Amino acid sequence: MARPSLQASQPGIHSAKQALTKRGILQKDLVKQLGYSRHPISRFFTGKPVEQEIFINICDELGLDWLHIADLSELAKPPQNEQRQEESTSIDKLVQEVRSKIKDNIQERCGTMRVLDMSQPIDLGEIYTKVNILEKITGRKRKKLKELLQELHLEDFENFGFGRVSEERVSGLEAVKKYQKLIVLGKPGAGKTTFLKYIAIQCNQGRFLPNLVPIFVTLRDFVETPDEPNLLEYIGQQFSECGVTSAEIHEVLSHKAALVLLDGLDEVKQEHYQRVLREIRELCEKFYDNHFIMTCRIAACEYTFDKFTEVELADFEKEQICIFATNWFRNKLEASDFIKRLEINQRIQELAVNPLLLTLLCLVFKESGDLPANRSELYKEGLEVFLKKWDAKRGIQRDQVYKQLSPQRKKDLLSKIALTTFEQGNYLFHQREVENYIAEYICDLPNAETDPEALQLDSEAVLRSIETQHGLLVERAKSIYSFSHLTFHEYFTAREIVLRSHPLQQALQRLIQHIHEIRWREVFLLATEMSQPNASMLLQAMKQKVDDLLVGNKKLENFLKHVAEISTAQQFPIKPAAVRAFYFDIDFEIDAERSLSLLLDRSANLLVSASFFTRVFQDTEFSKAIELVLDYDRRTLDPTQKIINAASANEAMYLAVKLALDSKRLEPILINKLERIYQEDFRQAQPEELDEEKVKHLADEARNVAKNHHHLGGKDWQFTTEEKELLKQYYYANKLLVECLNSDCPVNLQVRSEILSTLLLPSN
């Protein structure tokens, strides 16, 4: 059947061009926003016929009513060719009649969504975010382990995450257009049902495939219908409530005018599964030339549909996360605040690529106005969603492949796998490897199989169950698995150490051997939160391990003594430990952004600026530079311009450079250098408007100028490569200790005071 088209009237074209001007965009921008080629957009603005769906979408994007833009007089003209004659046939009239009758029913069944702890349903159109499709199923790629590891960039572990593995993506709606028969696969919570409902609504409203009748079937409801009707009869029963007869449905299907949407193949119980497969095949074979779309969890079912193309729903990208949040909160300031909180927390942001977990994060933020300080509790809640809540909220009971594996035991099993693989540095593991871990665990359960072959089959079934029902282990390539998120791998590792290891003190000693390794940072932070009421024990063990790192190295011990001496040579309105942290890295070799100093005392920004002044101002001692900074802050009324209130060392450097250029005290050789790096963009900017990347660039450039101009540290220590590496490990371990101390956990006041007072001091 030919697709109907519309064309714009001359007044309509004028209104559309005005809308473009009002938005400050060009036709080429509209092309990019809509994702169409340039051709239909050009035809629209020249008054030529455009496919009806595209015409309506263009009008929607411009905020125009398509009925006011279209030249409807063209529709009233008598048929002039075969296309007009076909559009005026009785089947077209029947399609429109059926669509009209079922419109309210489809809107009622598919127009809203309600998940997790939402207090009320939300309109799908208000929250829906366009999804992307992977045309190559992730778990079927024949990639070697080495290839996957290269994609993950393990050397940059602080920014490591599985979300960085990118495959070519296409628009979800484009994939539906491209393939007449489609199976949409996805991990739990990936948005499969939401996507299918969105297609139904768009078709129902004439915005997508407007010449077809949308037929939405929840397969779980179909198989649970009394009297076990066949699939065609079930569709007829649904539509009979709308005044549509079975004969009319048969006529629509016979004339290739249906969009059949079958949701949740994975939600069908095993006892009904073969019947469902048979019904779907019979309907597809009998009415083969209609559009069929089916959803199913990845690896959930064994089936064969020869004519169907399988695709996978892609994880959300950053832009989609922002769009979802903006839609969810409606309040732009609240959405912006939420997005900023995500951006500064890499691990929580990693969870947000999953629409279900992103919904959980939005609900948590909506309730408290912030993301929780105790991340272990957030991750625990996210795991509960996958292990129990998501199916329970929707009334789905799945077949239990291994009866003795309760949710608690599944968590214990995953914890065992997590610690074993994390200690080995394995974030990806072969299928046989993880099956062996499962076999080792389940063979110790009561009444477990002891026959090796039966145990192997059980472990295979358990792995498949954890992947399909909970999505916590996923296949990254053929027979290569990982945890779904690095965050969950780290959480389960910490859980195994803190909650399942006995004796605990021995387990903590095992953990602190990794105190200087960056990749263990999140495990330490989570373990601290989960160690209640034993957090003090862990922190004391960490402190002892930190102090031991330099013991026996006389040169480095003497360096610590030197740092302690110069940090007390002058009195600063700053906590002593923060001053020691500042002097420890006086020439920016380890941590240019002074994160440890600022963790200990935000006032350390005064030292950041003062050290810069000492280096660039003529004849200015450090004590005098501190007075200059304090005097500037006293005279500055705007709190956003005070150095002590700077959000970071980079921002403190920005303010210091700005003050130095205005002071007329710079050495002549430095004026041109600093003027060059202090870009014009910054001259009128306020701190709250600053671009973080530009501020960091300016701060780094200014540090290089200052560092190369004047040494501040007094004695010039010359360290070997090995000594420098050990100092970095020592500094990092101290920083991690302070981060754990500042985490959401109760710590004995005496323990806290003792740690802070002896931080960065020689042990004797």
User: Which residue did the predictor score with more confidence, 723 or 385?
Assistant: 723
| CATH superfamily, region 5-88 | lambda repressor-like DNA-binding domains (1.10.260.40)
How confident is the model over 410-438, as a mean pLDDT?
93
How confident is the model over 707-711, as a mean pLDDT?
66
Report which residue type is found at 270: Q
Using the predicted structure, report yes or no on whether residue 1 has a pLDDT greater than 50. Answer: no
Query: Which residue shows structure tokens 């350390």?
Result: 604
Buried b (16+ CB within 10 A) or exposed e, 356-368: bbbbbbbbbbeee
Using the predicted structure, report yes or no on whether residue 451 has a pLDDT greater than 90. Answer: no
Please report the pLDDT score of residue 181 as a whole number.
94
Cα(745)–Cα(13) distance, rounded to whole angstroms?
63
H helical segments located in 513-569 = 521-530, 535-548, 554-567
Mean pLDDT over the full length of the chain? 85
576-584 and 749-757 helices cross at what angle (nearest 10)?
40
Using the predicted structure, report yes or no on whether residue 291 has a pLDDT greater than 50. Answer: yes
Using the predicted structure, report yes or no on whether residue 199 has a pLDDT greater than 80. Answer: yes
Cα(291)–Cα(202) distance, rounded to whole angstroms?
15
**H-run or E-run covering 276:** helix 270-286
Please report the pLDDT score of residue 607 as a whole number.
92
Count helices and strands in the chain by DSSP H and E runs: 39, 14
CATH of domain 92-313: 3.40.50.300
- Return phi, psi of residue 349, to 5°: -60, -35
332-343 and 355-368 helices cross at what angle (nearest 10)?
110
List CB contacts of 200: < 8 A, sequence separation 6 or more: 106, 109, 110, 214, 216, 259, 261
Q: What is the pLDDT of residues 382-415, one digit of tens each?
A: 888 888 766 655 565 665 656 667 888 899 999 9
Is 472 within 8 Å of 385 (Cβ atoms)?
no
Q: Is 703 helix (H, G, I), strand (E, B) or coil?
A: helix
Q: What is the pLDDT of residues 134-159, one digit of tens each?
A: 988 776 766 776 777 666 655 555 55
Q: How confident is the model at residue 88 (pLDDT cuts 50, 70, 90)?
A: very low
How confident is the model over 85-101, as a mean pLDDT?
76
Q: How confident is the model at residue 188 (pLDDT cuts 50, 70, 90)?
A: confident
Please report the pLDDT score of residue 76 as a whole number.
47
Q: What is the pLDDT of residues 654-700, one digit of tens each?
A: 899 888 888 878 877 788 888 887 765 565 555 455 677 888 888 88
**H-run or E-run covering 483:** strand 480-483
| CA-to-CA separations, 360 to 247, 340, 525, in angstroms, rounded | 45, 17, 22
Cα(514)–Cα(511) distance, rounded to whole angstroms?
6
Structure token digits, residue 96: 């429109």
Cα three-residue angle 106-110-116, rounded to 5 degrees: 160
Using the predicted structure, report yes or no on whether residue 164 has a pLDDT greater than 90. Answer: no
Please report the pLDDT score of residue 153 as a whole number.
59
Using the predicted structure, report yes or no on whether residue 3 has a pLDDT greater than 80. Answer: no
Q: Quick count: other Cβ atoms within 10 Å of Cβ 694?
A: 15
Please report the pLDDT score of residue 83 as a whole number.
45
Structure token digits, residue 265: 């193949």
Q: What is the pLDDT of residues 561-620, one digit of tens each?
A: 999 998 888 888 899 999 999 988 866 578 888 899 999 999 999 999 998 888 888 778
How confident is the model over 3-22, as a mean pLDDT?
87
Domain boundaries, the chain: 5-88, 92-313, 318-393, 554-749
Q: What is the pLDDT of residues 712-722, one digit of tens each?
A: 555 677 888 89
